[in-house]
Amino acid sequence: MTVEQAGRRGPVVHVDPVDAELELEPDETIIEAAWRLGYHWPTTCHGQATCTVCHVEVLSGAEHLVPPDDEERDALETRLPGAQRRDLTRIRLACRARATGDAVVRKKGVRPTQTVPIPPTGPL
């Protein structure tokens, strides 16, 4: 069921290229919503703001994300590979970013963890 079919309540973060729509609960981060909704999200610290592996590129709606706190800013500036060459105003940690409105982000490696049965294709 899509977010539109279910009736929306909270902000939705659309994740490319997996084409996932994550409706965030109040005070929930992007990665927490992804985990709750059954998605694998790349990480090695599992939400501790230390690995930066969870980072996303914000494609639109950056103004709808709660501004980064000191912990997130420090992690991005000091631990994100190639941080000096990147536009950090468009990069957020999924384990820290919360939304107040809709946004679109890009994150490779996000995928559903639940398997979907494949219907038979012909007579048995």
User: For residues 13-52, which are near ligand FES according to CB under 6 A?
Assistant: 43, 45, 47-52
Kindly state whether residue 10 participates in binding ligand FES, applying the rule CB under 6 A: no
Kindly state whether residue 58 participates in binding ligand FES, applying the rule CB under 6 A: no
Kindly state whether residue 110 participates in binding ligand FES, applying the rule CB under 6 A: no
For residues 79 and 50, the answer to whether their CB atoms sit within 8 Å is yes
CB 16 to ligand FES: min, Å? 19
Q: What is the CA radius of gyration of the chain?
A: 16
For residues 30 and 97, the answer to whether their CB atoms sit within 8 Å is yes
Contacts of 71 (CB under 8 A, 6+ apart): 49, 96
Backbone φ and ψ for 53, nearest 5 degrees, come out as -65, -25
Strands 91-93 and 55-60: antiparallel
Using Cβ positions, the residue closest to ligand FES within the complex turns out to be 95
CB 15 to ligand FES: min, Å? 15
User: For residues 63-82, which are near ligand FES according to CB under 6 A?
Assistant: 75
Which residues of the chain form contacts with ligand FES (CB under 6 A)?
Answer: 43, 45, 47-54, 75, 93, 95
